[in-house]
Amino acid sequence: MKLEAKLHEIKKPIMVLGTSSGAGKSLTVTAICRILKNLGEEPIPFKGQNMSNNAWVDWEGGEMAYSQALQAFACDINPSAEMNPILLKPQGNSISEVIHLGKSIGTTTAQNYYKDWFIPGWEVIKKSLKSIYEENPNCRLIIEGAGSPVEMNLIHRDLTNLRVAKYLNANCILVTDIERGGVFAQIIGTLELMKPEEKKLIKGIIINRFRGDLSLFDDGKKWIENKTRIPVIGIIPWLNDSFPPEDSLDLIEKKSFSKNPEIKVGIIKLPSISNFSDFDPLENEETIFIEWIRKSQNLMKYDFIILPGSKQTINDQIFLENSGLSKDIRDYSKNEGNIIGICGGLQMLGTTLEDPYFKEGSKNYSEQKIKGIGLLPLKTTFFKKKLTRQINSKSIWPCQSEINGFEIHNGQTVLDDIQSSLKINPIFEDSDLGWYKENNKGGTIAGTYIHGIFENDSWRTQYINLIRKSKNLPIINKKSISYKEKRQSIIDNLADEFHKHLNLKSFLN
């Protein structure tokens, strides 16, 4: 039976739309998911189409946006690519990789996307919704929109906002960010641009990120309700808890919250950075301060340097060379510096990058084979297909411990025989997951394909202890609080704050 025939039987979905990108849709969905879970419901997050290079791999090896994975954690369920059936991963120059139900199926230009992918995209969204309801008949979908629902040049090709809302007849919440200013115009303008049947779906308005005394907005609340005839169901105060930004551009404003830092970490802000949620566990370490490095400089003020993942490894390695950062990193390694690369960062630390099929950012023949930074004797060749899988392994260095994480990468990395004089050791029992070497004068250079490596508490603690020892700081002996427990605590705090200021009663009928 088609889903359309069963819509009257399902629990009314809740959809969170925003007056703009960055209004707070992702966090609002995360909070509502945990609130409903605590109330005994079976919430499941859903976002028909997401554009992000911050990804997660589910237990079937399917790629999905990390924000939907985080929302699944808030529901206390395993993330699944069905919760984010379309993922677009930007590659630069208005080109994106297209992922349907966790699998890469091609690339597209922005200009051709809706011409080539609109119909199959809508079909995969409906297929995912049908599958979710067949497997979870008592669930309530908590749906996240994308950007603004009334981008008039795009609305006839909308896949993930009002089309989904109308298809499911969802109760919709409109979220607006008062921190950005112009909140009244944002709300009224968004509603005025909707068709009458679309506006009827908006059942509540949330004012997000309000600073100061909430009572100061009483008159504003009355004005909005009188003007729109839609209740303001929540005024959410400014919250300090740190969540991963969905867009790498948001990293520009991301600041470390460490109050008493003993260790300073520099993360290279690559133009095509991916999976920056890898560093959330470090953000939550009280003794660590993080800075993002965007240009050539003396790196000796940092206790360790991280090269993150990249969606365009060749492009980003060319950026490092042209900007002078490659030389800075090599100089840093000669001065007892500690360096760790993750995925694309691992590949760039090697000697050679070869891109015969133009998969990782090379634009011409001269860029198909380039030199890496040259600190690890590794060479990488990029092939047509990429590897996506969950990882369960054991580490050998810097300690023996169970390791969980996931891989998302193109390219096979092997030892470079020409550079065999550079002594290198495996980090894990699965020797192709990562390598490290110790510098003659102190410090280590390491690289791994495992995303989420810092979520492994014992491994993270022992790596940090290596750095602390090199600085003559006392070793951390007490058992560190699990990062995953911290993440649950952050979600709980988020849900508690939303629950205090949000009236969802009318949405649960």
Residue 284 in 3-state DSSP? coil
The C-alpha atoms of residue 133 and residue 445 are separated, in whole angstroms, by 48
- Per the listing, tokens 């603004």 go with 148
Please say if 399 is a catalytic residue.
no
Of the residues 75, 343, 499, 501, only one is catalytic, namely 343
The C-alpha atoms of residue 315 and residue 294 are separated, in whole angstroms, by 15
The C-alpha atoms of residue 241 and residue 137 are separated, in whole angstroms, by 34
The CA-to-CA distance between both ends of the chain, in Å, stands at 25
Query: What are the residues whose beta carbons fall under 8 Å from the beta carbon of 215, sequence distance 6 or more?
Result: none
Residue 223 in 3-state DSSP? helix
The C-alpha atoms of residue 40 and residue 75 are separated, in whole angstroms, by 11
Angle at which helices 66-75 and 483-501 cross, to 10°: 80
Of the residues 75, 139, 409, 451, only one is catalytic, namely 451
The C-alpha atoms of residue 212 and residue 337 are separated, in whole angstroms, by 44
Residue 304 in 3-state DSSP? strand
The C-alpha atoms of residue 74 and residue 167 are separated, in whole angstroms, by 25
Residues tagged active-site: 343, 451
